[in-house]
Amino acid sequence: MNTFYRFQETIQLNDTMHDPTVTQTSVAAINWSTDAPPCTPNYEEDRVPLVVLYSVVLVIGLPANIVTVYLTFLQVRRKNVLGIYLLSLSVCDLMYLCTLPMWANYVNAGHQWRWSSMACKVTGYFFFNNMYISIFLLCCVSSDRYVAVVYAVESRGLRRQRLAVAVTVAIVLVVFVGHVPVFTMPEGDAAEGQRRCFEPGKGTSTVTGFNYARFVIGFLFPLVVLVVTNRAILANVQASTGLRQCQKERVRYLAFAVVVLFLVCFAPYHVILLLRAVTFHFPELQNCHFQESLYTPYTISLGLSTFNSAINPILYVLSSDNIRKELRRGLAGLRGRATLRPRSTDSSQHKMHNSKNSSEVAAATQEGEKHGR
């Protein structure tokens, strides 16, 4: 009986091996599970654009944010609620900008990470943390302006610095905790293998879920908040009879610029994240051709997101009347000091010249008296 069952199993195995469909499927599964060499994109395509972009953003954004940290700190000392969000935004952008030299070095070296895996993970952690903290703080700035404009009377008891500090701290904590999985991702093991640091590779369920969350929570929701609040601000200001036309135009341009800048800086990157998340459910699309065709747009869009840190001080801080007044006061003080120095120098020279002339006159008088005697 046992012999009969063994003979039957042998016949079934032979039939399965001779079935072309099953054979191809088995070979495909074996090839898919085999550790094939990873796809290697052309890193030279994005090297120069990214290095130039990171350098320009750093040169513009670093001094601009340092100045705005000082200006917004003065506003915080004057109990300005909006100053809390703007100060936090400037500090966040500064931390974000401080990671750019390492990324520029990494890209310029042919995407070879020169430091440890922990350095890669910490740099990536702060890079992505500050990106989303900045996005949520932009929502806070627009929401605070919305409450102050649309509900000017009702918001007097609600807009408090303590509440603004509590909201900012909550955002920082939530984003920091949400990005803790960065330390467990194999994409951050830069000291091993080809020394890549958070390069997009073959999708996993963890990365896919992370990408969905970043698109919905980190992009779509903030976009809705920015559009709704700025549209309401614009409608309220346009209906106001107490503002001049030039003031209304400035508010309109600011509302338009806020939404457009957000879309330009963050939409390309998050759309590519969503595309990568969707294609994870279609294994036939996850091939080298797809990864290579998407790599350069991905890296350029990630670099484009850094541009937001250089524009924020100009767009938000300089659009505030109080901070513009503070800036004018500071510039006036510098001009006053600059004009006082030449005057004081000239007056000193004039005094020295007069004293010299007086000495000469006195000496000549004494000499004349001697000859007269």
- Asked if the structure places residue 21 within a domain, the reply is no
Q: Is residue 244 in a domain?
A: yes
| Residue 331, domain member (yes or no) | no
Number of compact structural domains in the chain: 1
- Domain enclosing residue 104, as ranges: 41-318
- Three-state SS string over 19-62 comes to CHHHHHHHHHHHHHHCCCCCCCCCCHHHHHHHHHHHHHHHHHHH
Q: Distance of CA 132 to CAs 14, 19, 89, 273, Å? A: 58, 53, 11, 14
* 191 in a structural domain: yes
pTM for this prediction? 0.76
Cite the DSSP H helix spans in 179-244.
205-215, 221-239
Q: Identify how many contiguous H helices and E strands the chain contains and give both numbers.
A: 13, 0
Collect contacts of 190-193 with beta carbons under 8 A, ≥24 apart: 190/113, 190/115, 190/116, 190/117, 190/119, 190/120, 191/113, 191/116, 191/117, 191/120, 192/117
| 108 in a structural domain | yes
Q: Does a structural domain hold residue 22?
A: no
Q: List the beta strands (DSSP E) in 270-326.
A: none
Q: pLDDT (tens digit, 9 = 90+) per residue, 92-141?
A: 999 999 999 999 999 999 888 989 999 999 999 999 899 999 999 999 99
| pLDDT tens, position by position, 142-189 | 999 899 888 888 777 778 999 999 999 999 999 999 899 888 888 788
CATH number at residue 295: 1.20.1070.10
- Residue 13 included in any domain: no
3-class SS at 165? helix
Position 269 confidence tier, pLDDT thresholds 50, 70, 90: very high
Q: Determine, yes or no, domain membership for 367.
A: no
| Each residue's pLDDT tens digit, 232-252 | 999 988 888 777 888 788 888
